[in-house]
Chains A and B, each alone.
Chain A
Amino acid sequence: MFEIFAFTHVHNGSLPKSSMTIYSLYIYDRHCACVYYHDWHRTRRPKPAVEGGILPAVSQAVLAPVAESNPSTLAPYSSPRNTLTSASGVVVAVNEFNAQSTASPLLQAPPSPVGVSSTGLAFDEEVKLVYGVVFSLRNMVKKLSGRDEQFVSYRTSAYKLHLFETLSGYKFIMLSDPGTESLRFVLRQIYVGPFLEYVVRNPLINMDSKEYGVDNEYFRASVDRMIRGSSFFP
């Protein structure tokens, strides 16, 4: 009798999901350049890029600081993570190409208040390393399997990197904590949803250019909303 009772006990609800942390998102185009960067729980800020190292309109948070102050060009959308503005009192408007071309005060810019980056690298170097790792791993996986096989993810003791590649050559890369299951479907959802809506179908975004990224306020807000609203974000 006891055994029958035990078998009829139904386990209600699913097992509690351990919360997974998403650290950051990078998007690269087919020219191997980073066109978008977004981060969430990254505990140490990335160091701002040296001038000219990254394209404008990738992410306000990692643009090189500009000493020139011009309040009339205040961007309507100011990222809350744009800590660079507090150092020099400047907001660099997104897509404002001219602001970046004032070169000389840049090199004497005061050190960023955000402290040491977790990788110890400037952002543009880090971005290139990420791309290089992904590119090499993709080739390796293709070579080893002999078929046209996709590299999906890799895990280290501290993080896990997921890759989703589209047919047009755009690569969506996400870093999360190592316990996470494959986030490829999330990256695919970002592509199918916010990316197609606010980047591909946006006539103002010059997609295949080699000079601009694809950062715009709608895309950034909707990606943010999508990730924060998903079930695994703590």
Chain B
Amino acid sequence: MAIFGLWVINKAGGLVYQRNFADGLAQLTSNEYLVLAGTLHGIHAITSRLSPIPGQSSGAQVIEGETFKINVLLTLTGTKFILLTSPAEPASTIDVLLQKIYSIYAEKVMQNPFHTPEMPIRSEAFDVSLGALIG
């Protein structure tokens, strides 16, 4: 049961934060992470269009591979929090974790007067709090 990584994507689809925690996934260059984040942003939008039933569908919330899964939290402001975990993690734990990450983001990043919204996050306080939460 491990958390492999966290990405934060702004509402335009650009990657603003990326961090790896446990090992288990490939090491990629920062450029590759940027491309993957943009792709995920697009896929998330398309998946909400493909619903076979009438009514609103959210975008993809969980994407499963064989050795890991991708969990997506889309906030009301359009920011996405992507958590890469092992497949065994229960959904309830992940939801709680994503909400906590969101509240840390709101405290340490949004309330920082020197941070420009939608720009890459360079905040030591954010890193430290995330480290304390996830380890």
Chain A interface residues (CB < 8 Å from chain B): 23-24, 39, 42-44, 118-121, 126, 129-130, 132-133, 136-137, 140-141, 143-147, 149-159, 161, 175, 182
Chain A residues touching B, majority SS: mixed
User: In the complex, what residues of A have CB within 8 A of residue B67's CB?
Assistant: 145, 147, 149
Q: Do B63 and A129 touch (CB < 8 A)?
A: no
Closest CB in chain B relative to A73 CB, distance in Å: 31
Q: Do B43 and A23 touch (CB < 8 A)?
A: no
Number of A-B residue pairs having CB atoms within 8 Å of each other in the complex: 114
User: In the complex, what residues of A have CB within 8 A of residue B65's CB?
Assistant: 141, 144-145, 149-152
**Count class of interface residues, chain B:** 20 to 34
User: In the complex, what residues of A have CB within 8 A of residue B48's CB?
Assistant: 156
Q: Do A121 and B49 touch (CB < 8 A)?
A: yes
- Check B28 for interface membership: any CB of A closer than 8 A: yes
A159 and B66 in contact (CB under 8 A), knowing A132-B46, A144-B84, A154-B60?
A: no
Most A C-beta atoms less than 10 A away, residue of B52, B58, B67, B68? B52
- Check B121 for interface membership: any CB of A closer than 8 A: no
A61, B28: Cα distance in complex, Å = 45
- Check B47 for interface membership: any CB of A closer than 8 A: yes
Residue in A closest to B51 when the chains form the complex, CB atoms: A158
Closest CB in chain A relative to B60 CB, distance in Å: 5
**Interface 9-residue window, one of B8-16, B32-40, B96-104, B125-133:** B32-40
